[in-house]
Amino acid sequence: MKELAKPYLTGHYTPVTDEITAHELTVRGTLPPELNGRYFRNGHNPKPGVTPAHWFKGSGMIHGIRLAGGRAEWYRNRWVRTPYLEKVPFHGTELEVSAAATSIIFHGGRYLALQEANLPWEVTAELDTVGVFDFGGKLTSAMTAHPKEDPVTGELHFFSYSPFPPYLTYHVADASGQIVRTQVIEGAGPSLMHDFAITAQHAVFMCSPVVFDHAEQSGIPYRWHDDVPFRVGVMPRESDRVTWFEVEQSTLLHVSNSYVDAHGRVVLEGPRFDRAAWESSWKWWVGAPAYGPSPLSGATLHRWILDPATGKATEAPLDSLNVEFPAINDAHTGIANRYSYAIAFPGAGLSGYHTVKFDTASGRQRLFSHGEHRMPGEAVFVPAAGSNNEDDGYLLTVVSDLKADASELLVLDAAELTTVATVELPRRVPSGIHGHWIEDTK
């Protein structure tokens, strides 16, 4: 019997087979004049003939769109040319052999492609590969694909996790990109820790029931274990003392935000997976029998409130939609925010893909339907010129259209979720993982 194609190599996720460059892209509507910079989006795109055992194991390809002066100057896509992609003899360390496929950031004057099991790989503003980057030899472990930049200090907070001791190590790099702090976090375990959070005063870590298990054969050796609790660690930034809170068993891949409320409690928000949702998603990621219709099934927006003074934790759902890839106005990273955005997947009453805006103060939601055969990517918030309100700005997302075999960069009004402009891309862009808007001033 012929083996079915893996879901992460079909439909919206079908890889492209080459690298192209196109100039002077067609724009429908009017691009806001303050959009001067680059939108970069990373994702898994294995070479033709390569079938990775897990969605997360595909080689990284970055898609870039340059906007300036109301024009879409260019589109280009490039593989991150690491030893993992090239499959050539390599004499460096295993940490350097990265798929470099999860995210791309800009910090300290460098564009860094990230994959959490490895060191970063640096690329240029035109997406050519420079090489592995280890912060001048100061980073000797892997780096998360979800660092957090403090909007006030410009510091970059990040971590590495491992199935073996030390399980968790925390790092801080200053605004120039120099590592100024490295610390082992006591009390952590061998959990899969894809993301974390910061507040203006804390680092917040999550040790979930998805832990190292050598029996997992997909290449990502982690499985859900019912006997392992979900614990959230809160550490004041000026201290090395972590308070661990045990909460209802669940897990999360991505954090929306975390902040300290008026009562001094740490609030953490993000899409929460129970065991059924996690295992349904995992089946899609590995292409196991009976996988669901989408890569992220059943996660719902949730809030945890952690009180360092009493050691008590409370939690509650914020919404029932099936969502993932949360985003906020990054100027609110670590401080109180009212609005967050996400992809709403089919299910929970929705028949297609939507971009959703949550008002976590009122509990209301606003939906933008992308239509049949169309799937949006993660929404990236860009502030409007002279913005005064948290949601004064734009959302950038690449939309894949299977019926048209094409893609667009969609610019939405972040307050109203209405279309501002659409950039026609010269090819279908596979649905990917994470991206960032990098202003020209940076």
| Residue 365, pLDDT score | 96
CA distances from 154 to 170, 174, 178, 291, 368 (A): 17, 7, 12, 41, 33
C-beta of residue 309 within 8 angstroms of C-beta of residue 320? no
What CATH number is attached to the domain comprising 299?
A: 2.120.10
**Is residue 113 situated within a structural domain?**
no
Length of the chain measured in residues = 442
Instruction: Please give the chain's pLDDT, 442 residues, in tens.
Output: 455 689 999 999 999 999 999 999 999 999 999 999 999 999 999 999 999 999 999 999 999 999 999 999 999 999 999 999 987 777 788 999 999 999 999 999 999 999 999 999 999 999 999 999 999 999 999 999 999 999 999 999 999 999 999 999 999 999 999 999 999 999 999 999 999 999 999 999 999 999 999 999 898 999 999 999 999 999 999 999 999 999 999 999 999 999 999 999 999 999 999 999 999 999 999 999 888 888 998 999 999 999 999 999 999 999 999 999 999 999 999 999 999 999 999 988 898 999 999 999 999 999 999 999 999 999 999 999 999 999 999 999 999 999 999 999 999 999 999 999 999 999 999 999 999 999 997 6
**Is residue 60 situated within a structural domain?**
no
CA atoms within 13 A on the CB side of 217: 2
Which is nearest to 251 in space by CA: 233, 224, 213? 224
| Residue 261, pLDDT score | 98
Lookup: tokens for 136: 């001048």
**Is residue 441 situated within a structural domain?**
no
Query: Could you tell me how many helices (H) and strands (E) the chain has, helices first?
Result: 2, 33
Beta-strand (E) ranges in 321-392?
323-327, 339-344, 354-359, 365-369, 374-376, 380-383
One-letter amino acid for residue 305 of the chain: I
CA distances from 183 to 95, 167, 169, 241, 335 (A): 19, 11, 6, 11, 24
**Is residue 272 situated within a structural domain?**
yes
C-beta of residue 190 within 8 angstroms of C-beta of residue 228? no
Lookup: tokens for 354: 């939507």
Alpha-carbon span 406 to 22, nearest angstrom = 14
**How many structural domains is the chain composed of?**
1
pTM recorded for the entire structure: 0.96
| Residue 442, pLDDT score | 61
pLDDT digits (tens, 9 = 90+) for 275-299: 999 999 999 999 998 888 889 989 9
C-beta of residue 213 within 8 angstroms of C-beta of residue 227? no
CA atoms within 13 A on the CB side of 170: 26
C-beta atoms surrounding 108 within 10 Å = 16
Query: Is 23 annotated as ligand-binding?
Result: no
C-beta of residue 434 within 8 angstroms of C-beta of residue 144? no
Give SS3 for 85.
helix
C-beta atoms surrounding 329 within 10 Å = 23
C-beta atoms surrounding 23 within 10 Å = 12
C-beta of residue 183 within 8 angstroms of C-beta of residue 161? no
**Is residue 126 situated within a structural domain?**
no
C-beta of residue 31 within 8 angstroms of C-beta of residue 421? yes
Query: Is 91 annotated as ligand-binding?
Result: no
**Is residue 277 situated within a structural domain?**
yes
| Residue 3, pLDDT score | 58
Domain that holds residue 169: 146-369
**Is residue 314 situated within a structural domain?**
yes
Residue with tokens 């295992």: 279
- Residue 133 burial (10 A CB sphere; 0-12, 13-18, 19+): buried
Sign of CA dihedral 326, 330, 332, 335: positive
**Is residue 375 situated within a structural domain?**
no
Query: Is 436 annotated as ligand-binding?
Result: no
Lookup: tokens for 11: 């439909």
Query: Is 434 annotated as ligand-binding?
Result: yes
| Residue 1, pLDDT score | 41
Sign of CA dihedral 331, 334, 338, 342: positive
| Residue 60, pLDDT score | 98
